[in-house]
């Protein structure tokens, strides 16, 4: 049950690069945005170590510091940043309608526009050793962390386009990349498979799964299992890249907003507009292809501009 109702112009759900960039632009357009951070303030970047590919940080920056910078910049223009989780949404179908979003089950926000930037979460296998060594050699982002494994041996788990892309990216930096593919064939597109097969320092182990990540505080190797013969063997590596897909954080919008077959929100053309007037989506929640901080920030900017134009059209 809601005990308080607050009326605002622009609500932003999610606090990764897309959410904070939307906030910066919305605030500067005088939309007085309120951003709810979700349970992981700062988003996925707070789980990586060094970010070396975000323009403007010539010496690199750690993900948490970078997201603090995003937050500070949003607050400088009077964005209200609040810790809290959207738990229910009731979106109006009419142009100019009011959208209701419940926060933490007990507070209702009535917003003229809503920008959804709830991101996506990398899937992991669920092994105890994998969880323990996250940040100590286990990663779900080769673009973010691959650089630290230059000249070393790594493994990539997965057989889709992401795994193929990460493996070929890593092969340029690393001495050797071993891909663990659980079936006897890859899911990746033929073009990506071709690229994988033509990479000299990349070996594919078919019918093979990750059984255990070895090492106490940093990765020292992996134990793999052939799922046909049940034979296990160890491989010495310093990096383990899990690339078995991402899950967009869209549970809340099921049956309400249009999604593709994997749950990513669908936006219209080159805009951030969803199928509902006044509801926009930015960042990884609507992008399964690029998934970079800088592209998420770019769509966050677009969402704020789309929201501003939507409100301006209502007034004219
Ligand atoms: P996918 O769902 O396509 O592939 C996931 C892969 O991980 C599959 O090969 C799957 O194996 C494997 N996997 C899942 N769970 C496990 C597990 N427990 N143990 C071992 N392996 C596992 O995800 P992607 O992230 O690769 O791609 C998502 C979408 O994004 C796709 O549509 C893809 O085409 C697109 N994409 C496009 C790119 C491009 O065009 N440049 C780049 C990256 C992604 P199995 O095959 O056996 O199910």
CATH number of 124-242: 3.50.50.60
Query: Which protein residues touch ligand 1 with a CB less than 6 Å away?
Result: 125, 157-163, 165, 182-183, 187, 209, 244-246, 288-289
Between CA 135 and CA 144 the distance in angstroms is 12
Domains 5-121+246-315 and 124-242 share a fold: yes
Is 141 catalytic? The answer is: yes
- 59, 69, 145, 287: which one is catalytic? 145
First to last CA, the chain: 36
Enumerate the β-bridge partners of residue 155: 178, 240
Enumerate the β-bridge partners of residue 280: 115, 273
Provide the 8-state DSSP code for 266: P
Looking at the CA of residue 163, tell me the nearest atom of ligand 1: 26
Helices (H) and strands (E) in the chain, counts: 7, 19
pLDDT of residue 19: 98
Query: How do beta strands 120-122 and 50-51 pair?
Result: unpaired
Distance 164 CA to ligand 1 centre (A): 9
In SS3 terms, 168-218 reads as HHHHHHCCEEEEECCCCCCCCCHHHHHHHHCCCCEEEECCEEEEEEECCCC
Is 145 catalytic? The answer is: yes
Distance 104 CA to ligand 1 centre (A): 33
Domain made up of 5-121+246-315: CATH architecture: 3-Layer(bba) Sandwich (3.50)
Q: What residues does each domain of the chain span?
A: 5-121+246-315, 124-242
Is 301 catalytic? The answer is: no
Between CA 281 and CA 271 the distance in angstroms is 9
Residue 41 CA: distances (Å) to CA of 12, 58, 135, 136, 257? 13, 24, 18, 22, 24
Between CA 119 and CA 106 the distance in angstroms is 23
Name the CA dihedral angle for 281, 285, 291, 297, rounded to a multiple of 10 degrees.
40
Protein residue with least CA distance to atom 31, ligand 1: 161
Between CA 52 and CA 60 the distance in angstroms is 4
* Residues 259-289 as b or e (16 or more Cβ within 10 Å = b): beeebbbebeeeebbbebbbbbbbbbbbbbe
- Chain-centre distance of CA 202, in angstroms? 26
- 10, 141, 174, 301: which one is catalytic? 141
Neighbours of 26 (CB within 10 A): 31
Distance 177 CA to ligand 1 centre (A): 18
**pLDDT tens across the length of the chain (316 residues):** 446 789 999 999 999 999 999 999 999 999 999 999 998 888 888 766 678 789 999 998 988 999 999 999 999 999 999 999 999 999 999 999 999 999 999 999 999 999 999 999 999 999 999 999 998 999 998 988 899 999 999 999 999 988 999 999 999 999 999 999 999 999 999 999 999 999 999 999 999 999 999 999 999 999 999 999 999 999 999 999 999 988 999 999 999 999 999 999 999 999 999 999 999 999 999 999 898 999 999 999 999 999 999 999 999 8
pTM, whole model, 2 decimals?
A: 0.79
- pLDDT (tens digit per residue) in 284-316: 999 998 989 999 999 999 999 999 999 999 998
Mutate which of 244, 246, 287, 291 for ligand 1 pocket (most atoms within 8 A of beta carbon) = 244
Distance 245 CA to ligand 1 centre (A): 5
pLDDT of residue 47: 64
CA angle at 213 for the pair 208 and 215, rounded to the nearest 5°: 150
């Amino acid at each position: 049950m809601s005990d308080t109702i607050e009326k605002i112009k622009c609500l932003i759900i999610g606090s990764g690069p897309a959410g904070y960039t939307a906030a910066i632009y919305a605030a500067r357009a005088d939309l007085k945005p309120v951003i709810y951070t979700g349970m992981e303030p700062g988003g996925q970047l707070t789980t990586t170590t060094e970010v070396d590919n975000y323009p403007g940080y010539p010496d690199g920056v750690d993900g948490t510091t970078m997201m603090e910078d995003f937050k500070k910049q949003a607050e400088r223009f009077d964005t209200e940043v609040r810790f809290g989780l959207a738990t229910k949404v009731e979106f109006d179908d009419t142009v100019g309608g009011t959208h209701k979003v419940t926060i933490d089950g007990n507070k209702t926000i009535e917003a003229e526009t809503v920008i959804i930037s709830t991101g996506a979460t990398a899937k992991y296998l669920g092994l105890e050793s994998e969880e323990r060594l996250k940040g100590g050699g286990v990663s779900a982002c080769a673009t973010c962390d691959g650089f630290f494994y230059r000249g070393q041996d790594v493994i990539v788990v997965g057989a889709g386009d992401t795994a193929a892309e990460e493996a070929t990216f890593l092969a340029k930096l690393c001495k050797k990349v071993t891909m663990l593919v659980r079936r006897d064939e890859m899911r990746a597109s033929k073009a990506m498979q071709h690229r994988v097969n033509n990479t000299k320092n990349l070996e594919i182990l078919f019918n093979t799964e990750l059984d255990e990540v070895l090492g106490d505080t940093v990765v020292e190797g992996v134990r793999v299992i052939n799922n046909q013969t049940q034979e296990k063997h160890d491989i010495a590596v310093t990096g383990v890249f899990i690339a078995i897909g991402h899950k967009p954080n869209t549970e809340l919008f099921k049956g309400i907003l249009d999604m593709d077959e994997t749950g990513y929100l669908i936006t219209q053309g080159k805009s951030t507009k969803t199928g509902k007037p006044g509801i926009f989506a930015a960042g990884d929640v609507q992008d399964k292809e690029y998934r970079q901080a800088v592209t998420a920030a770019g769509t966050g900017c677009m969402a704020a501009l789309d929201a501003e134009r939507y409100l301006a059209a209502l007034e004219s």
